[in-house]
């Protein structure tokens, strides 16, 4: 285990578990935590042993978002600098050739909500809450939230939630299709790990290409999306996993994928 001041990292059976570990600030995304989070992403990005990435928080919060106490003292240049590092985290998660699962164990507020949304799958406890309190301090949502949320709930509902500074319960988030899996209190991490283990034995190249195409197709028409699909199929049909899947189908057994 790599244990840093504000971010912990474990590798468990091919699953990289990233735990935000700044309990006293409710895992606020301040400059120190963001720096450490980027360091951990550096480690896992090119680590072939890492198949799935699970992100969670320690204590009663996934992440309280930006550290409001420090905002009033920042200069314009300081704000630009910290935002550039924070947005780099979000971009790396959405673009990395790994599947990310967020296990939301409590409050996911502001940019913490954005961090959860950047992941491919969201598992949330029933006591979790997702906050859009930006308007309460005269700011707009950031770290990609204005990109993610309207695509899930629609632009009109997104504006309603943002304008009102809504705090969304886990049940509401599940109804809005923000959350994939809803679990009991204290079960987000265990459920996330269980799901990660199931994904870890699937053909990883196929999953990462699905992720890439879905992200890219947001800005494409149907023809552009189908071109990506055709290219992906042409590549994947040459992989060992594809051949193993075909052989297992013929032999009426479960396939054993290796990620190659």
Is the residue at 210 inside a domain? yes
**Based on the domain organization, do 28 and 80 belong to the same domain?**
yes
Distance CA 139, CA 45 (A): 32
Is the residue at 258 inside a domain? no
Is the residue at 39 inside a domain? yes
Q: Which helix (H) or strand (E) is 121 found in, with range?
A: strand 121-125
**CB 53, CB 41: distance < 8 Å:** no
**Based on the domain organization, do 191 and 208 belong to the same domain?**
no
Range of the domain at 232: 204-251
**Based on the domain organization, do 137 and 227 belong to the same domain?**
no
Is the residue at 256 inside a domain? no
Q: Give the distance from CA 26 to its chain's centroid.
A: 18
Show the low-confidence residues of the chain (pLDDT under 70): 1-4, 68-72, 222
pLDDT at site 230: 77
Question: Residue 243 is part of a domain; what is its CATH number?
Answer: 1.10.12
Is the residue at 259 inside a domain? no
Distance CA 178, CA 183 (A): 14
**Based on the domain organization, do 81 and 132 belong to the same domain?**
yes
Tokens 């979790």, residue? 128
**Based on the domain organization, do 84 and 208 belong to the same domain?**
no
pLDDT at site 174: 98
Is the residue at 260 inside a domain? no
φ and ψ at residue 51, rounded to 5 degrees: -105, -40
**Based on the domain organization, do 235 and 123 belong to the same domain?**
no
pLDDT at site 114: 94
pLDDT at site 175: 97
Tokens at 249, concatenated: 């189908």
**Based on the domain organization, do 128 and 218 belong to the same domain?**
no
Residue among 199, 204, 209, 201 nearest 235 (CA): 209
**Based on the domain organization, do 214 and 116 belong to the same domain?**
no
**Based on the domain organization, do 127 and 240 belong to the same domain?**
no
**Based on the domain organization, do 58 and 180 belong to the same domain?**
yes
Half-sphere exposure of 73 (CA within 13 A, CB side): 4
φ and ψ at residue 89, rounded to 5 degrees: -60, -50
Helix axes 204-217, 240-251, angle to 10 degrees: 120
Question: Residue 32 is part of a domain; what is its CATH number?
Answer: 3.90.226.10
**How many domains, the chain?**
2
Is the residue at 130 inside a domain? yes
Is the residue at 44 inside a domain? yes
Q: What is the pTM of this model?
A: 0.86
**Based on the domain organization, do 112 and 222 belong to the same domain?**
no
Task: Give the three-state DSSP class for 254.
Answer: coil
**Based on the domain organization, do 209 and 175 belong to the same domain?**
no
């Amino acid at each position: 285990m790599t244990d840093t001041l504000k971010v912990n990292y474990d590798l468990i059976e091919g699953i990289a578990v990233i735990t935000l570990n700044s309990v006293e600030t409710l895992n606020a995304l301040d400059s120190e935590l963001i720096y450490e989070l980027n360091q951990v992403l550096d480690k896992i990005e090119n680590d072939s042993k890492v198949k799935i990435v699970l992100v969670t928080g320690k204590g009663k919060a996934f992440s309280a978002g930006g550290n409001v106490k420090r905002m009033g003292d920042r200069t314009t240049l300081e704000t630009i600098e910290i935002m550039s590092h924070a947005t780099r985290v979000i971009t790396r998660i959405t673009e990395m050739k790994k599947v990310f699962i967020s296990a939301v164990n409590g409050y996911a507020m502001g940019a913490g909500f954005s961090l959860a949304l950047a992941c491919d799958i969201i598992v949330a406890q029933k006591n979790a809450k997702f906050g859009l309190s930006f308007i309460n301090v005269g700011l707009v949502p950031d770290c990609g939230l204005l990109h993610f949320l309207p695509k899930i709930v629609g632009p009109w509902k997104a504006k309603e939630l943002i304008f009102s500074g809504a705090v969304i319960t886990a049940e509401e988030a599940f109804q809005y299709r923000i959350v994939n899996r809803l679990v009991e209190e204290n079960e987000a991490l265990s459920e996330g790990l269980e799901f990660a283990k199931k994904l870890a034995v699937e053909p990883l190249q196929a999953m990462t290409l699905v992720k890439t195409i879905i992200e890219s197709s947001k800005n494409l028409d149907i023809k552009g999306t189908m071109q990506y699909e055709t290219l992906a199929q042409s590549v994947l049909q040459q992989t060992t996993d594809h051949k193993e899947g075909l052989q297992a189908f013929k032999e009426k057994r479960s396939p054993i994928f290796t990620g190659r």
